[in-house]
Structure 1
């Protein structure tokens, strides 16, 4: 929605729009816009509706769109749709109705009217808006069950992406549970062989070929040139090229072929038909969800492994046995913490004999979980709960953050952890608290409620907390907050300082996080190619080894396609330190 707000509301307040109206009309329109900027949606609706009763008004389609936006923000999607449809249908010659269509599609999507949202996106001619909405639609569709997806597929028979999504979901079921008739029908419709998910036979080479499939949007892929447009993609590519140099110093030779997807599915499909692609040993990319099904299908059919350098979304690796991500999914983060905390509790129990009062007391540890509203926050919390309880851990409270009265609700939930003035002790000093919240306001409310009680419970939080402006590092250190940080590395280490110095000398700039992402992806998977050959998938997923990156402490893909090693870091004397270091790791 941030994308729409920036694109639409800034435009609606443009000179061209206001120039069409009279002074009173412009004043009311401007005031309504200001109210929306302040989040005062109902007053804004009243002002804008009043504006449209004036004689000779000319800003009706703009006003209807703003009103639709206001209703959208309030969650009143029916009224949002009514007003946006008015802007689109009653003012057919309005030049700016593409933005209203985009918001209408968003509104249908929020209301789970998938057929309507798909019909709307098909009517958008603006390429960027259409891609943005289409990506959001498919992110929602990916979360649906097979039974929920079936009628959508039937209503949109010409949409091969939906058919492919349904096909892959069915294929991932146990054979005895599959709707074989539907699977065969989809197979014929899509031209996909049901059993054609190839696992490549491994071959060791003197030189490996890596295809970098990224949206460069340019005719050149010169990693040494600074590109302001799509700069983050060039940062990733710069990191990949530096990784290639570091591997060469270890006699691991990599030949890189860069392909510009242009974020165009037709263009990408044509790229994958390049005969050179059949000789590729690894694909790095793509980055965007609308490109993903095409490359996943190619990877499944050829057995060529693919890796995403920046994503933590499990959708990247779902239904693609040869796909990997270098980060950890929200599920893995939650599961890792749940297993680790319970293992520590069980290790403490082993220090006391059976029946000992101290052992009984130690076995009363409980954990409190607060989570936010996004899919990621809920996935982390649910995975933590499942893993923790599976080993006998006890959850005292499991609470979604209340957007209306969050501070008081969580403060009441944390009461058993409060300092008791009469006894001069903390009621429960052994508890854990997992705050699976990434929204800054909600996170600060939660930790404030916790600390206001004088608790000494151990708190665990996502890495996003390091970006908060209103929570200083010294405050986090004082509160002893533990941060779950996949792919963290010590930037004060000799390797990191050397890398940074070399990058600064070469590019006269500080390396961004995307540079590190590209570099670590190339280095880590280059070493995997060197150790296992180009058919490394099964060997990597069956290995217990924790493999060192160049900067990243470790990678582990045991029975997984995302990194199973999730460091827990904490501020100690002003510096971030890894509380979960590995004593032994290969590479």
Structure 2
């Protein structure tokens, strides 16, 4: 009896001791967690995760182990741990927090639909504020129209999703259907119309229009010799503008042209913009540098002065300013139209994309990929290529596997004629030259799509454009055989004593386009321009601003019989 009592007392003491050990272990682990020592906390929570009837901390240890893993950057470990909690005890009192963390991980991984689905499982109203904040943060990162379109269709009552869809769609309106949809989103979610469909004031006409060119000419530092200057492209552009003003004045379009030297100095720009002369200007070409843009755009909105960016492809330069235009097509449009072109020109419905590390390249590649998928093309590779990794392009495209008797490659790891085309979303000569070299080695029929900027670089021999099926997006292409081009060429050479550069042509063409818009549609030409559809260019193939504030008419050119020719306009 005495021995039995000893056993009972020993067993009870052991149970208390074990319970106390669990308390101590959990308390120590929780202290490490609170101190942000997540690696040590993970190790301390680990022995407490295992289920034991004497361990009341199994679920809590699992939960904090998962959160610690997340904070250490081990998202896959955290995801597995949270899912294990749900599997073992779906009715645990902290299950809403588990679902919240799982949704966060899904969003971090780009699994937006799974994240939204997981949030729906949280029924506790106390989480509403946190859910809204998490959802807003995640959805704000989505810039793909089609993803948001599907999301809005599934979660049509969700204002956060609806607002983000409206914001992204507002920057990508390319059809009457898009505009109608945007109108419906604005009405459905009671959004401020002017933030999504900014409109210019009612227009009016003048006898004479004031046009300003706002560039860093740096006149005080210009060398007076006829040698090429550091800012020659700006000087060329301005000379083209001046020649266009003369042409417009002869046609009855009265333009008063003014040039302002910003000297690449933001304080000077602010002083210039504070003058009544610029406040009463009808149109500004510029600025040139991105860091100057915010100041000019604020001025443009406040004073209702239209601005045109001659060289940029970035919609960041115009954002939601109804008075701002890109003379060039946006990177979004270039990418989408290139995909449409390839989809209509190849029987093999697969393609590759190579692009550089810059933002413009990424935007081009992303929009090409989205539109290609929409058009039924399969993107088998989308490869970002830092300059130090350009050799990998050759590895991907031209690693031989079979040779003929003369040791020339006859087959490659990427089988000959296995894909329809390659889109090179970069003007980096190291990247596109390596793609072209690889295609030349292959000797097959893969179509390459690039940019007209490649021509000016002279990295690729002209005959290769013809033999290798290279097509270029060319919004600034001007056919030198056309009478209007010959007339412009002769006038420019007589006036300035040299042949016009591409930038001089750009200056002439942009002034001709917007000068005629001022004449036909008045100071606020926005509505008239948007209703004009395709507008013939004076030198180029033309323009279209029907649903956007960048030129959405993009010619595609190829080299044939000794000269570049337009093969299609999209």
TM-score by length of 1: 0.57
Question: Does the CA-based 8 Å contact 2:356-2:362 persist in structure 1?
Answer: yes
* Secondary structure, aligned partner of 1:321: coil
1:243 and 1:573 map into 2 onto residues whose CA distance is: 32
In structure 2, the residue matched to 1:21 is none
- Counterpart of 1:488 in 2: which secondary structure? coil
Cα deviations across residues 225-272 of structure 1 (Å, max 9, x unaligned)? 999464433322211111111112221111122222222222222222
Distance 1:449 1:220 in 2: 45
C-alpha deviation, 1:375, in angstroms = 2.0
CA distance in 2, matches of 1:229, 1:421: 48
SS of 1:568's partner is: strand
In structure 2, the residue matched to 1:277 is 278
Which residue of structure 1 aligns with residue 354 of structure 2?
370
Q: Secondary structure at the match of 2:495?
A: helix
The alpha-carbon deviation at position 412 of structure 1 amounts to: 6.1
1:393 aligns with 2:377: yes
Alpha-carbon offset, residue 376 of structure 1: 2.0
Correspondence for 1:512: 501
Instruction: Label 1:175 to 1:265 Cα distance change in 2 as closer, same or farther (>3 A).
Output: farther
Q: By how many angstroms is 1:573 displaced?
A: 0.7
Which residue of 2 is the match for residue 105 of structure 1?
Answer: none
State the Cα deviation string for residues 98-157 of structure 1 (Å, max 9, x = none).
xxxxxxxxxxxxxxxxxxxxxxxxxxxxxxxxxxxxxxxxxxxxxxxx979xxxxxxxxx
Deviation sequence 1:386-419 (CA, Å, 0-9, x none): 112123332232223374441443226999xxx9
Which consecutive residues of structure 1, in runs of 5 or more, have no partner in the other structure?
A: 1-145, 149-172, 178-193, 346-361, 583-587
Cα distance in 1 for partners of 2:519, 2:221 equals: 29
Where in structure 2 are the equivalents of 1:88-487 lying within 5 Å?
199-218=200-219, 228=229, 230-343=231-344, 365-401=349-385, 403-404=388-389, 405-411=391-397, 428=417, 431-487=420-476
Equivalent residue runs for 1:29-40 within 5 Å: none
Task: Report if the CA contact (8 A) 1:429-1:455 is conserved.
Answer: no
Question: What is the CA–CA distance in structure 2 between the aligned matches of 1:277 and 1:239, rounded to whole Å?
Answer: 21
The 2-side partners of 1:428 and 1:299 are apart by: 52
Question: Counterpart of 2:536?
Answer: 548
Deviations 1:301-358 (A, max 9, x none): 222210022222332212422111211222221111112333557xxxxxxxxxxxxx
Q: Give the aligned partner of residue 564 of structure 1.
A: 552
Paired position in structure 2 for 1:523: 512
For the structure 1 residues 147 and 272, does the alpha-carbon distance in structure 2 shift closer, same or farther, using more than 3 Å as the test? Answer: farther
Contact 2:351 2:419 in 1 (8 A): no
The answer to whether the 8 A contact 2:536-2:543 is kept is yes
Q: How many Å separate the matches in 1 of 2:255 and 2:353? A: 46
SS in 2 for 1:280: coil
- SS of match in other structure, 1:286: coil
CA 574–253 in structure 1, closer or farther in 2 if over 3 Å, else same: same
Output the aligned Cα RMSD.
3.8
Given that residues 305 and 537 in structure 1 are in contact (C-alpha distance below 8 angstroms), is that contact kept between their aligned partners in structure 2?
A: no
Count of residue pairs brought into register by the alignment: 376
1:577 corresponds to which residue? 565
Check the 8 A contact 1:420/1:427 in 2, yes or no.
Answer: no
> Structure 1 residues 528 and 309 mapped into 2: Cα distance closer, same or farther (>3 Å)?
same
3-state SS of paired residue (2:534):
coil
Residue 495 of structure 1 deviates from its aligned partner by: 1.7
SS in 2 for 1:579: strand
1:200/1:304 contact within 8 Å kept: no
- Local SS of the residue matching 1:389: helix
Distance 1:462 1:227 in 2: 25
CA contact (8 A) 1:524 1:549 kept: yes
Cα distance in 2 for partners of 1:444, 1:229 equals 26
Give secondary structure in 1 for the equivalent of 2:442: coil
Q: Distance in 2 between matches of 1:259 and 1:437?
A: 32
User: CA–CA distance in 2 between the matches of 1:369 and 1:175?
Assistant: 26
TM-score (norm 2): 0.59
Deviation at 1:525, TM superposition (A): 0.5
On the 8 A contact 1:411/1:449 being kept in 2, the answer is yes
Cα deviation for residue 481 of structure 1 reads 0.8
- Which shifted more, 561-570 or 458-467? 458-467
Distance 2:227 2:339 in 1: 43
- Of structures 1 and 2, the larger Rg is shown by 2
The runs of 5 or more residues in structure 2 that have no matched partner are 1-135, 139-162, 168-193, 402-407
Distance 1:480 1:344 in 2: 11
CA 1:413–1:336: 2 relative to 1, 3 Å: farther
Q: Deviations over 1:532-572 (max 9, x none)?
A: 1111123323x361112210111111221211112111110
Give the Cα–Cα distance (whole angstroms) in 2 for the partners of residues 314 and 504 of structure 1. 34
8 Å contact kept, 1:548–1:554: yes
**Do 2:558 and 2:565's aligned partners in 1 also have CA atoms closer than 8 Å?**
yes
Q: SS of 2:353's equivalent?
A: strand
**Secondary structure, counterpart of 2:553 in structure 1:** coil
